[in-house]
Structure 1
Amino acid sequence: MDATPDEHCEAPLASRALAAARSFARRGGSAFADLLWPPVCAHCRAATSIPDGLCARCWSRLALIERPYCERLGTPFALDIGGKLLSPEAIANPPVFDRARAVARYDDIARSLTHRQKYGDQLHLAVTMGTMMAAAGRELLAEADAILPIPLHRFRLWTRRYNQAALLARMVAKSSGKSLLLDALIRVRRTRPQVGLTRAERAANLAGAFKVPADRRPAVEGRRLLLIDDVLTTGATVSAAARALRRAGAAGVDVLTFARVTVDA
């Protein structure tokens, strides 16, 4: 079963101490806190006027995904020919989920932010990334009944100490006011890393990896759910998770990630 929110947010002692100090200072007044810790860019650490945001230079380098894009897969189109469009891939191979959206292409700034949050213990980046995800996924959030993260297997959670998707999901839930389900979907099978696997190998690797516990089915049945992850590559992970949710009676499943790999990225 997924860990509790506290377990998801375990961080090195130094990081927790810094966070506590910031919180204490901010309770004493935002001006005093900003004097002690002036806002800096989440990527390059240059001075900025927006806490937990990006500076103008880094923002301009973030490859945002905006319309026109495939309404099912969220993949961007080079040209806008008007109307709501479907990509050839979505028509030929409709996904298990209903719709996918992402903030940016998995390139340069987005890659750096996701790697640092996932592997570098920079948990504070969930604030920056989650806030942008809530904006990019506002259409999906308007229809969602609840939000849930892609879960980690308990062994992977133990070695990594936190689930980056759960941190992002909590921030998206906080920004949108939607309920957060941390234990409605669990990872029951330990899978090997997806890096380097083909599309077919990824799908086979994740077959049967997710499950909705019997006592959590009422939280899923008849509801429209929004799955949260950091990066969408081939869609194998979110497809396996969406399949488990549909089998448990979910009325619909959408996907929201911070970044997604595109053919020309």
Structure 2
Amino acid sequence: MFTLISTRIGRLGRPLRQGALRLLDLVLPPRCLSCGVEVGAVGALCPDCWRGIRFIAAPHCARCGLPFDYDPLGTPDLICGACIARPPLFDRCRSVFAYDDASRSLVLGFKHGDRTDCAPAFAQWLARAGAGLLTEADGIIAPVPLHRWRLLKRRYNQSALLALNLGRLTGRVALPDLLIRRRATPSQGGLSAKGRARNVEGAFMVNPRCREAVKGARVLLVDDVFTTGATVGECAKVLRRAGARAVDVVTLARVVRPVTLGDEGS
């Protein structure tokens, strides 16, 4: 009897929730994630902002995800010059869009402007961009961690919010404490690729409570912006030493810059 009553309440509750959401949209209409104008759905961009964002799609580097203007060989396994000259420490990386003038306010608003409401929508974008990686992940999704002092100042780790929402969306376990940032590193801004790599060297460790989960697993790292790959590369190195079988990366944005065979950064 109790089960029957609960089922009926659940059936009645669904249209009530839908009605409440429609009423909420009338009172507080959905706003563009970037510029704030009214849009037709929660978690959407307006047409102007959508056109301005450079979403990354094939063809791109099979390793780091750098977008190519064209694919002369017509193969999905094409690798960019930087990855040939200096193979990254992670296996593969995929990103949603290019980090440029059009997308900067979107990223910085989420990272520094308390726009945590963007996380569920961004997780949907990450799921699409990293679909090929998610099909092979062993259920372990982990964010790039913040040092505790920076977390205290910022109040949230934007990469952890992305990882948790991505895990919830895809039905995989997100472990926000899988990695620990044991050293407070200076900001990476303005540093060269070599400087970035030196800055984060030895900054991460696997949480002792999570070591068994890492062994033999394919881990999917989540971060907000990929610049040279130094940070995610250092995380991948630590995870491999702890026994991870493979480490893939998915990021919201990535810097797209000219790459040459002599490029030094991971």
Provide TM-score, normalisation by structure 2.
0.87
In structure 2, C-alpha distance between the alignment counterparts of 1:152 and 1:223, rounded to whole Å? 23
Q: Is the counterpart of residue 57 in structure 1 residue 79 in structure 2? A: no
The root-mean-square deviation of aligned C-alpha atoms, in Å, is 1.6
SS in 2 for 1:259: strand
SS in 2 for 1:104: strand
1:1-265 matches, cutoff 5 A: 29-81=20-72, 82-84=74-76, 85-145=78-138, 146-263=140-257
Distance, in Å, in 2 between the alignment partners of 1:189 and 1:27 is 47
Q: Deviations over 1:166-209 (max 9, x none)?
A: 01111111221111011111111111110011111111111111
* In structure 2, distance between residues paired with 1:43 and 1:229: 19
Distance 2:165 2:178 in 1: 18
Q: Match for 1:45: what amino acid?
A: G
Measured after TM superposition, the shift of residue 26 of structure 1 is 5.6
Counterpart secondary structure, 1:244? helix
Question: CA separation in 1, counterparts of 2:207 and 2:60?
Answer: 35
Q: Is the 8 A contact 2:226 2:255 kept in 1?
A: yes
Which consecutive aligned stretches of 4+ in structure 1 deviate over 2 angstroms post-superposition? 25-28
Counterparts of 1:201 and 1:29, CA distance in 2? 52
Give the drift of 1:96. Answer: 0.4
Gaps of 5+ in 2: 1-15, 259-266
Q: What amino acid sits opposite 1:41 in the alignment?
A: C
8 Å CA contact 2:164, 2:176 repeated in 1: no
In structure 2, relative to structure 1, the CA distance for the partners of 1:119 and 1:94 (3 Å cut) is: same
Instruction: Specify the code of the residue in structure 2 equivalent to 1:64.
Output: F
Amino acid at match of 1:199: A
Q: Is the 8 A contact 1:26 1:33 kept in 2?
A: no
Q: CA deviation at 1:127?
A: 2.0
Q: Could you tell me how far apart the structure 1 residues matched to 2:171 and 2:207 are?
A: 25
Q: In the TM superposition, what whole-angstrom CA distance separates every residue of 1:139-177 from its partner, at most 9, and x where no partner exists?
A: 111111210000001111111111010011111112211
Q: Is the 8 A contact 2:145 2:159 kept in 1?
A: yes
Residue in structure 2 matched with residue 5 of structure 1 by the alignment:
none
Contact residue 229 and residue 257 of structure 1 kept, 8 A: yes
Give the fraction of aligned pairs with identical amino acids, expressed as a percent: 47
Task: Tell me the amino acid that sits aligned with residue 123 of structure 2.
Answer: G
Query: Which blocks of at least 5 consecutive residues in structure 1 are unaligned?
Result: 1-24
The answer to whether the Cα contact below 8 Å between 2:119 and 2:162 also exists between their aligned partners in 1 is: yes
Provide the aligned length of Structure 1 versus Structure 2.
241
- Helix, strand or coil at the partner of 1:124: helix
- Name the aligned partner's letter for residue 75 of structure 2: G
Bigger Rg over Cα: 2
Shift of residue 249, structure 1, vs aligned partner:
0.3
What does the per-residue CA deviation read over 1:87-141, in whole Å, with 9 as the maximum and x for residues that have no partner?
1111111000000000000013321111001111111121222221111111111
| Structure 2 Cα separation of the partners of residues 31 and 176 of structure 1 | 26
Distance 1:69 1:52 in 2: 27
Residue 90 of structure 1 aligns to a residue in which SS?
helix
Instruction: State TM-score, norm by structure 1.
Output: 0.87
